[in-house]
Structure 1
Amino acid sequence: MSCAAVGSTAFYSTLISLLMSNRVSAQSMTGSSGHKALVCLFLEGGNDSFNMVVPQEADEFQRYRAARTSMGLAPDQPLPITDSASGRSFGLHPMLGDLQSLYQSGELAFVCNTGTLIEPTTLAAFENRSARLPLGLFSHADQQMHWQTSTPDKRDSKGWIGRMADVLQSINEAPKTSMNISLSGTNILQSGNSVIPYTITNEGAIDLQFYGAEDHAYFKGAVDSVLEQEYQNLLQKTYSNLNREAIDLGIAFNAAVGEEIPFSTEFPDTELADDLRMIARSIAANGNLGQQRQTFLARRGGFDHHDDMISGHSYLMEEVGQAVGAFWAAIKEMGMEDQVVLFTASDFGRTLTSNGDGTDHGWGGNHFVLGGGINGGRFYGEYPENIGLGNDLDTGRGRLIPTTSVDQYFAEIALWLGVEKSDLSIALPNIERFYDLGSSSAPLGFWQ
């Protein structure tokens, strides 16, 4: 029974996710003082982000409505915001009141028309087939992979945050877990050459059922006796040692996070909010976990709106907005708003045109970045002035060629987390196709 329990599926997922930091060999870093945490919120399925952020200048809105037809927001629906850099007027989805407040307070910014690119691409190059295009351009599986790896010219198993963690991990002196913590299971994004994600749930580390329970003391003794045996077979010995470490690591993680919640902010009753709540608790426990640098991944699926787009997308926008709003309130309550950045990712944008009751797979889309002392209340990258059909970025049906690469987007974040410019190409192998590493300016300028 003990052996069966130790080998259970739930427990084994914890085992696979385990990488003790004392097995990590990483480069020494400079400028590493102070704690920083990075949170990726992956909107799985392809967020219809041209309804998340809508143009409000009169002529721009008319072109938007003409392209979107039944998929567009009505004139009185968007929540008004202004890009402080250009003075252009925009509107947020009516369910994003929390994000409107964060944007207007200067804590949140938008990154416009972003997507996977192998190289800067024009419509002419796309149409005459001279442009090198991401593999599986409109495929969920491929585009999710490319957003995680930032290498769209190949299919890879290492993610840009994983490679970044390979560089930064040595900042964490004697950590109890990997710096990469996932609430979405094993993933490519946080998997590097040395560092892999440590998987938890929104209730904490995955426990071995009954282990440590007072009324099941016999069970703990039985498991311990199995794991304490001296095995001659190398595979058996290694498996036993890893199981022992996984149990101890789960106990240590839960003890570090603790039962007492370090904030009083109330979160909505949704799974995404529960995930972000646990991330906030884990960030607060960075000292107990021995982590100067942390990364987290949370996912919200359901964005593949081929039908029921208007009501389905509204539901998700409300859930995301409220969960992010509560998360940020908790972070601010703890006084950690300059130490934490949350950013969004998604498979791709969606077609501007309707397929009848929904939209189909697109390319460029809009995202938001929150926190870290960002220069918020403004747009980065280029939100097209014309998103009418047949514009100079339209590859068909309103699938827009990205004007900002994910490499630029991620490079900005990596530099904030502490990666040196000279090491950017380790995390982002294609960055020099879009950004001069010798430049005195930042890739997009969130913090300049």
Structure 2
Amino acid sequence: MSLRISVFGTGYLGATHAAGMAELGHEVVGVDIDPAKIERLSRGEVPFYEPGLPELLRKHVESGRLRFTTDAAEAAEFADVHFIGVGTPQKKGSYAADMTFVDSVIETLAPLITRPAVILGKSTVPVGTAARLAARVRELSPVGDDAQLGWNPEFLREGFAVEDTLRPDRLVIGVDKDRPGRIEEVAREVYADAISRDTPFLVTDLATAELVKVSANAFLATKISFINAIAEVCEATGADVVELADAIGHDARIGRKFLGAGLGFGGGCLPKDIRAFMARAGELGVDQALTFLREVDDVNMRRREHVIGLVEGELNGRLQGGKVAVLGAAFKPESDDIRDSPALDVAGRLHLKGADVRVFDPEAMANAAKVWPTLTFTESAAEAVKDAEVVVVATEWKEFRSLDPHAVADLVAGKVVIDGRNCLPAERWIDAGWRYLGMGRHSS
């Protein structure tokens, strides 16, 4: 059944969700306060890199099933289901989430809802937010209790967001158990295609739905920092963290995913979400329950300092003027997202310490240059490594994983490679005469 849907916010989450809803057969309008962004999206142009999304967006803009506007009143009149997909960044000077954009959507949209409608929040928010917003919607909307709000957290992986939208591994719908209304019924209509393929459909209370997302991110961050902490021990003892991760990953209770030691996690979700989770726990008086996340965060940040220390050591303590190639700027491959990127952070810190740093990334160059305009960005990996004394692989793009160590050796001034993601075939580089340094691995 086709529904009329609006999506407020057309950033990474909102634009992907809007295109996905159109692909599922719904009529969709995306809403944003940025006219330039709306103009680009209306031309079928995606203002960020996400595989598969440009094709999906163009397909449904051209079909007329998907359009974009800055007019909230137009969206309120058009749609019966409204999604909130705006950002919840970290507040300046605080670990807490900034709810300005989510609150603004509610304050704008709710008074415009003049017939029964369902609002589904997708943004990652502190627990307790949905109940507060649901009450505010009922207060502001002319239809009162017939304007209903539930929470439908997103679990998108950058680089796989289209797949995760169209074929999610689970759907979580939070409802006010005292006022369930039509939220579950409407959500089942929205996601009928996924449900028909036996996608788990979980209906919870509002607080549980909010906690599912931040708990999932906290768990993943903990798993990544755990293996990076073990990497520190491996480096002190001569053990190999990759072999160790392979061994413990065979335990079905543990699993191998997210046990890749390296530069650590970054991006717009995990770092700010675990910090906001800690802040909210403090507000609730249960801060001790999540104090371990502070060490998770600290371990993650230490790995960046470790790589900088390795570079300095290979340059005999002489970072000033040392020529360093950093391959990678995005926080992960298949993305141009440089928010809290370990790769770009390492490049920037080396630069501030006086190193001559050259950076290349297949997709994130423009974004990186906005944040670090004083860094030198090159047109290719070959240009970045030319005359470098040390090469740092900081984002595990396929292009970097498949580099020919013999060909690279002809370009560099020093055959030293620091594998910040443990993604290179170490023996191949060592056999080609390189000094290879991995994260928690045997070095040549």
TM-score, length-normalised on structure 2? 0.26
Q: Which has the higher contact order (CA 8 A, sep 6+)?
A: 1
